[in-house]
Chain A
Amino acid sequence: MLRFLLKLLACLIVGTALGLAATWVAVTRLNFGTVSNGPWRMSLLTGSAQSGPYLRANIALHGLLALNRSETVYYTADHDSAGEWLDGNCFYKIEGREPSARWWSITAYGEDDYLMKNKYDLWSISGETVQLKSDSTFTITASKHRAPTNWIPITQRRFSLTLRLYNPGVGVVDDPANAMVPVIKRSVCL
């Protein structure tokens, strides 16, 4: 009898641990219901009731209170365009043209999904603050060390970026995987 109870206890402990581990992996490591566009990922069903338990749990952890796709499209990147993890010791050039939306911004977040502390109180570049070149393209620098223009300070080793498109163009809503989004190029690492 004692042997049976011990086996039952072991079954419950191991089963619970496996179940919790599976949930943790599912909501933190797997990308359910997402599409990729270069280094950027976006959830097709963010905010909608059809999003399913995996995507909903993922959004609750990493993008709670996000709006649905017709109102706002959120792209997130934790890798650069070459597929390497974003690294706070490197300089990144985020290059492109203004995306199709009424308003857009690129914001940097630390590993905990909150804004990183910096002495400049600067966390994002938007369509209102970006300095465009004469050919209407932009280059935003994300790095620990200051850049003269379009700079987003990075103060943690592991970070991610979110590209927000408020009132996105129809093309973005219909086909976010092929919409025009900036590239993220690593330059030098210190």
Chain B
Amino acid sequence: MMRRAAFWIVATLAVAAVVHYFTLVRTPGFIMNKVMMRMGEVNHIHHQGRVTDKSRGVVRPSPDLLYSVCPFDLSQGALHVTGKVPKGTYWSVSIFDSDTNNFYVKNDRQAKGSVDLLVTTPTNDVRRPKGATEVISPTAKGLVLFRTLVNDEKDFAAIDAVRRTANCELIRSRAS
């Protein structure tokens, strides 16, 4: 009798452990996938408006930053990321894999005026555009995020115009 009860208790705890581990490991990918779908068409840049209380894309957004996002899917090729860097304010481009890991970041001080990246996977056969820096993504899906600080409201129009030069474009793999 005791043995049977112990068996069911252990079995229940084993089910709990499996469910716990599975949901824990899957949580970041699940949330990232949901966010990517909310951002819009993949392999295209989406320049978001000012962050307000109505902004519901990503938790804890900064109202002082302008965000431009590019959800990507490298299964068909590589992503060419270009753009100018605004002067006199904080700016960064960061790249996240489908498990939410931030595997690349460059800010305005490091970028020196412009950014030109080719985000790709080890298996993609794509001709690298001249001058572009190759960045290997650990996963085929992910997200490029540009942050631009509006450090002075009177400079908003100028800062916004420069950040909107950011672009993402799929370069199809020669094999696809």
Write the residues of chain A forming the contact surface with B, with a CB cutoff of 8 angstroms. 7, 11-12, 14-16, 18-20, 22-23, 26-27, 46-49, 51, 53-54, 56-57, 59-68, 71, 102-103, 105, 107, 109, 113-118, 121, 123-124, 126, 128, 162, 164, 166-167
Contact = CB atoms under 8 A, between A and B. Distances in A.
Contacts of A67: 92, 94, 102, 105
B63 A123 contact: yes
Given A64-B31, A114-B59, A23 B107 contact: no
B27 A60 contact: yes
Contacts of B61: 114-115
Max chain B CB contacts within 10 Å: which of A12, A48, A56?
A: A56
Interface residues of chain A: helix, strand, loop or mixed (majority):
mixed
Contacts of B101: 47-49, 51, 56
Contact of B27 (A23, A46, A162, A167): A23
A105 B62 contact: yes
Given A7-B8, A49-B103, 9 more contacts: A11-B11, A19-B16, A19-B20, A49-B101, A61-B31, A107-B63, A115-B51, A115-B63, A167-B90
Interface string B133-144: 000001000010
Given A18-B12, A22-B16, A124 B62 contact: yes
A164 B64 CA distance: 11
A16 B12 CA distance: 8
Interface of B: 8, 11-25, 27-28, 31-32, 35, 51-53, 55-56, 58-64, 90, 92, 94, 96, 99-103, 105, 107, 109, 138, 143, 145, 149, 151-152
Contact of B60 (A121, A128, A162, A167): A162
29 contacts: A14-B12, A15-B15, A16-B15, A20-B23, A23-B23, A26-B20, A27-B27, A48-B101, A56-B27, A57-B27, A60-B31, A61-B27, A63-B60, A64-B31, A64-B35, A64-B59, A65-B35, A65-B96, A65-B145, A67-B92, A67-B102, A103-B149, A105-B64, A107-B63, A113-B59, A113-B60, A114-B53, A115-B55, A115-B63
